Structure 1
Amino acid sequence: MRQLLLSHPVPGVWGRWWYSGSGGPRPITKGTRGGSGPMMESSGGTHLNTSAVTSKVGIARMLQAAFGCATFSLVAHRGGFNVAYGTFCMSVWCFCFAITIFIIICEFTLFHRCLTISWGNFTAAFAMLATLMSLTAAVIYPLYIPFSCHSSGCEVRDFRISASVFAGLLFFAYAMEVFFTRAKPGQVTNYMATVSGLLKIVQAFVACIIFGALVNGSQYNKYAATQWCVAVYSFCFAVTVVVVVLSVTGRTAMMKCPFERFVVIYTFLAVLMYVSAAVIWPVFCFDRKYGSPHRPYQCSRGSCPWDSQVVIAVFTYINLVLYIVDLAYSQRIRFVSHP
């Protein structure tokens, strides 16, 4: 069975994780700090890193930039994004494009070595976040933007169809990077590239969806029990963000206790809290004594508290499963500290 072993501190390895396969521990090769792929020996006088655009990860990022540019260009030209959902999708594509270009430039010019953040953790966290955001935009845009032909012709519809296709390709390009940079056995990698680190991004993203449903007329302040559920969502989201920020900024050593122990304890606490929310929220929203098991017939589409309550219940169970999986993987990793 695959396991994770704590290796001896290695100079030049900052906040990385040691994986061991079935053949036992493998030696750690000293390399550069930063980057999101395997550790490479410095080439000395080289000032440009061509592998930033020629490696598998580099090609995936170039595709991300190309697909992202094509998507928001088609939408801005004739596709249209006047409604709120269209504006959200446009913001997602522009944000992901800007950060991707920044990463490509930093990797190609080796400028990331001048930054004070943990570059590998940053790129891994962004790739996972961009995957989730681009997936959301790829689903929302064709759902809420009409594809009917106007009296002047079907040109606008064709632009919207093309934008939807490129939005889907953009999601796959970001998913490719996550697949290429994920933690593998026998490799020293960054925490955010492990299953536990990637799940932290997904958990925070799911919590944001829950918050969006909470403020959309969910009537969460009706009972003290549902307010407890909101406290659970808020606490777990805040601590998850803190874990991600500490990893990305390379400040995990600032903690009084070992980082991996803190992660395991917090994840276990989050599982217990989400179990309580998973029981309390459905009871106080869908039981006949407190709420309604069926959707009220007078509820209008887009402004029905019952719909928001269903969304919150579904994503509460999703996050509960994510935290359970996170807890299982968190116990299989050990932090390799800088001496």
Structure 2
Amino acid sequence: MPRLPRLATAATATLVLGVTAAAPATAHEPLITDSRTVAHFGLAAGQTPENIALEPDGSADLTFALARQIAHVTADGKTRDGRVRVLATLPAVAKAETPVVHRAVVTGIVRAANGTRYVSYATGTRETGIWRVPGNGGAPVQIAELPRDGLPNGLALDEHRNMLYAADSVLGTVWRVAASGGKATAWAKGTRLQPLTANPGSSSGYGANGIKVHRDAVWVSNSVRGTLLRFPLRADGSAGPAETRATGLAGIDDFAFPGHGSSVLAALNDTSQVVLVRRDGTRTVVLTPRDGLSNPASVAVRGRTLYVPSGAFVTRQDPNLLLARLRYPAGRL
């Protein structure tokens, strides 16, 4: 999630960070093809898609950050793409004082195999934490409280261990809580997860942001440091030493693994790009504003279909959901 404009002002400037150095895709064999925008959302209504979880039928569940909503969007490549249905709305908070964003926002989302959805909610009040939304779209219930002076952002689910992991962008911490709910514990922390400054009014206040559980490790992006980190999951469930797996990813938000390997597709919010980061560190820009990106905040992959929600938090133009096709099977990326 990028820094949001204050309620009483126009959009703030984007972070002043360098454009990612990336190896260009060849003109003869692009890695991504058939990109198209399948849904456009209402900026004035707060329909700013921040994070995404996929349903078994290929449709998508999105968090509309500013509207405090979880929405279902048909996006499976069929003729009825783009139909939006609100599943749930998080409770309003009278005096939200979320650090950096200064309002209540719904951020990360994950979906369990049984259809239950979990979301991160940041308010600056006791409502800050992880909330559960029943599979039928019933009323959200808070299952864990997180520090009100933090900003829980990306969310990951490890169903094998029945654990949720939330990346806190302000406190530079990965919180862990049982999927059944309870007390959250600080699973990982340190300089590499922190923002460059703790000043809530600064655009350098975004540290840990996107997060995924992949191959016995928890992976975390740090937006302002432009890094992708890997924390091994030890046998007892604790965090192993952090490994820096990629650098130079200015403005990285959330990301996804297109296969079982270590290649990553990452949303670069500042430059409105999606990049493929290979295991050897080489990078290729695969989608840009020309394809319709407008401050993309997350990425999801199902088979050879790529999903990219754009929140338009800074551009203030065309929040949307884009679909594209991977040219190669995931294992070849």
TM-score where L is the length of structure 2: 0.29
Whichever of the two has the greater Rg, that structure is 1
Q: Which has the higher contact order (CA 8 A, sep 6+)?
A: 1
Which one has the bigger strand percentage? Answer: 2
TM-score where L is the length of structure 1: 0.29
Which one has the bigger helix percentage? Answer: 1
